[in-house]
């Protein structure tokens, strides 16, 4: 599920980049010369690209949230036995709780 959502996010991201690049700029110097672009349905194409951009951006946000939820459930299902080790360490007494990289120093050496 998580992998499927990540693939959908990648596809939506590529489509979003393409829809943004296909749009004509609405301000600046190019806007003065763009009056001729409003002939024969180009306005409808611009409206479609603008709506597609918004829908893709919203879709990426929603898919990202769903992927986050799927990732947390995916990690719980594939969690290693680390939790059992932590519980075992917590249940042992203080005398036996020596970390593997630590050495117990006898009391006579420490003054």
What does the domain layout of the chain look like in residue ranges? 2-25+41-91
pTM over 0.75: no
Task: Please tell me the distance from the alpha carbon of residue 37 to that of residue 55, in angstroms, as a whole number.
Answer: 24
Task: Please tell me the distance from the alpha carbon of residue 68 to that of residue 78, in angstroms, as a whole number.
Answer: 15
**Do 19 and 53 meet the contact criterion of CB atoms below 8 Å apart?**
yes
Share of the chain above pLDDT 90, in %: 28
Greatest mean pLDDT among 28-37, 38-47, 89-98 lies in: 38-47
Q: What is the pLDDT of the chain when averaged over all its residues?
A: 74
Higher pLDDT, 9 or 106: 9
pLDDT tens-digit readout, 62-109: 999 999 998 877 666 665 555 666 666 666 655 555 556 666 666 675
- Closest by alpha carbon to 23, among 58, 56, 47, 59? 47
Higher pLDDT, 97 or 58: 58
Higher pLDDT, 106 or 25: 25
**Alpha carbon separation from 37 to 16, 21, 34, 44, 100 (Å, rounded):** 22, 16, 5, 11, 73
Task: Please tell me the distance from the alpha carbon of residue 6 to that of residue 64, in angstroms, as a whole number.
Answer: 8
């Amino acid at each position: 599920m998580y992998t499927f959502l990540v693939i959908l996010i990648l596809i939506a991201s590529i489509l979003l980049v393409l829809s943004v690049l296909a749009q004509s700029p609405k301000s600046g110097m190019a806007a003065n010369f763009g009056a001729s672009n409003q002939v024969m349905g180009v306005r409808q194409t611009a409206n479609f690209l603008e709506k597609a951009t918004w829908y893709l951006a919203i879709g990426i946000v929603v898919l990202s949230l769903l992927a986050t939820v799927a990732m947390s459930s995916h990690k719980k299902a594939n969690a290693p036995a680390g939790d059992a080790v932590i519980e075992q360490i917590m249940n042992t007494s203080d005398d036996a709780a020596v970390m593997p990289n630590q050495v117990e120093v006898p009391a006579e050496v420490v003054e």
